[in-house]
Amino acid sequence: MLSRRSFLRASVVGALHQAAGLGPLAGAALVRQPAPTRANVIWLFGDQHRGQALGANGDPNVHTPNMDNLASLGVNFTRATSGFPLCCPFRGSLLTGRYPHHCVPGHEYPLPEEQKTIAHVFNEAGYHTAYFGKWHLDGFHEKDGRAAMHIVPPHRRGGFQTWVGYENNNSQWDCWVHGGEGKDAFHYRLPGYETDALTDLFIEYIKERGRLARSGKGQPFFAVLSVQPPHDPYVAPAEYMRRYNGGQLVLRPNVPCVASVQQTARRDLAGYYAMIENWDANIGRILRALDEAGLLFNTHIMIFSDHGDMHGSHGMYRKTNPFEESIRIPMIIAGERMRYDGRLTGDTPVLISAVDIAPTTLGLCGLPVPDWMEGQDFSGYRLHGRPRPRPDSVYLQCVVPTGHPHSINKPYRGIVTDDGWKYVCFENVSWLMFNLNEDPYELVNLAHNNRYRAERRKLIERLKQWVHETGDRFAVPDD
């Protein structure tokens, strides 16, 4: 007879299998799973996937059963932020745990050659490390040609032992990957749709890890899958595109009633949601592969994005600005040894940002965080049920503007506080201030309303503290 603990474990894992299409599992088989000693960890992340665009986070349009189920079984950080809502700076912070002004300050800036990454830490701990997909950290400028044809030199691939990727690519049906070096170098066009084809490569890696583990030659691994979708252009395989009709979508309340804005938002969102549903289906494939390889019970699964997408909110599109649709990202930690012991699961409103992902990942595997990382380790929210005190705020930056249209093209700094305030300024000028508890869609800007002068001064002082503590340079206004 199964113990109550084993029964609960079987029930939870069975739910995960059903959502991923893995079929039922026998409870006795779950009981016999060996207790892992060194956990694996994988990162699965898309590009421009805003945190609101998950069924688990309340989006009425999108169908994401795999991510929703992982959010329920693991920990769903509902207030996760990009920090700097732009691809290259986020990726620099992601891999190094350092703020953009210390690492990758803007679009098409390279990761510094001397900068270590999380891969180096895992390598030194005896892990195998692998990276698949979009890189965008070699500093290649699109004005000089198509980035998909640019070869990232082996010494600039972040220390990953296996690296199959591309610098940048905005053509999901014409994606090229490269890797290896010398006589083993390769560069070829992926067959079919990018997310599907990259997932195929990632699954082959998982299968190989499983074969090595069964042969007794395995080692723990840290593996990354980075896909371009749901970044524009908003196209997906036809079977997903046909499921979304732009005219029937529910727009966010802060999309203005301007015909051209609403028309563009509906057209783009139909493809955007189709891309996300395709991504969710591929996550289901990865879960199935982990199970078949015998690795599901010893692998932490982290799902997130680099930044969001405005899709007409406040009349804007894409990213780079500090509004919620741009800065909020999915952040789910699930996987290894499903939650059956009464610890914390589901939604948590703790503030977490790009610089915290690498330290948290190391914490999940019981590895010390190097002193050159600047973020915090939030693995306790997943592992212990006794998380560290919540941070009082999170830092927002736009260090070097990009020139992208339809958004904000000026440097800014800001904070989001644990008690629900957001404040953002240009140099020496207050810009935005919202009470997110009362105004989650940011419709009422209080930055210049003297009724809130005392609160504004508190936020300004906390922002000045952030600038000082991170060694940043920015002229925050005094009032």
Q: Is the per-residue pLDDT at 272 higher than 50? A: yes
Q: Where are the domains of the chain?
A: 4-20+38-391, 410-469
> If you classify domain 4-20+38-391 with CATH, what class do you get?
alpha beta
Helix (H, G, I), strand (E, B) or coil at 376: coil
Q: Which residue has the higher pLDDT, 64 or 9?
A: 64
75-84 in b/e form (b: 16+ CB < 10 A) is bbbbbbbbbb
> Which residue's structure tokens are 């610890």?
343
* Contact (CB, 8 A) for 303 and 41: no
Q: Which residue has the higher pLDDT, 389 or 202?
A: 202
Q: Determine the pLDDT at residue 222.
A: 98
Q: Determine the pLDDT at residue 337.
A: 60
Q: Is the per-residue pLDDT at 453 higher than 50? A: yes
The residue-averaged pLDDT of 332-360 equals 81
The residue-averaged pLDDT of 52-79 equals 95
Q: Is the per-residue pLDDT at 26 higher than 80? A: no
At 146, the pLDDT band (50, 70, 90 cuts) reads very high
Q: Per-residue pLDDT tens for 454-470?
A: 999 999 999 999 999 99
Q: Which residue has the higher pLDDT, 10 or 103?
A: 103
Question: pTM value?
Answer: 0.90
Say if domain 410-469 classifies as CATH 3.50.50.60: no
Q: Per-residue pLDDT tens for 65-78?
A: 999 999 998 999 99
Percent of the chain residues topping a pLDDT of 90: 84
Between CA 48 and CA 313 the distance in angstroms is 15
The residue-averaged pLDDT of 93-111 equals 97
Q: Which residue has the higher pLDDT, 14 or 257?
A: 257
Contacts for 428 with CB less than 8 Å, ≥ 6 apart: 475, 476, 477
Look over the chain and give the mean of its residue pLDDT values, rounded to a whole number: 90
At 374, the pLDDT band (50, 70, 90 cuts) reads very high
* Contact (CB, 8 A) for 40 and 125: no
Q: Is the per-residue pLDDT at 95 higher than 50? A: yes
Q: Is the per-residue pLDDT at 180 higher than 50? A: yes
Q: Is the per-residue pLDDT at 119 higher than 70? A: yes
At 83, the pLDDT band (50, 70, 90 cuts) reads very high
Q: Choose the weakest-confidence range: 31-40, 290-299, 360-369, 395-404.
A: 31-40
Between CA 252 and CA 325 the distance in angstroms is 10
Q: Determine the pLDDT at residue 404.
A: 78
The residue-averaged pLDDT of 125-148 equals 95
Q: Determine the pLDDT at residue 386.
A: 63
* Contact (CB, 8 A) for 229 and 194: yes
The residue-averaged pLDDT of 192-220 equals 96
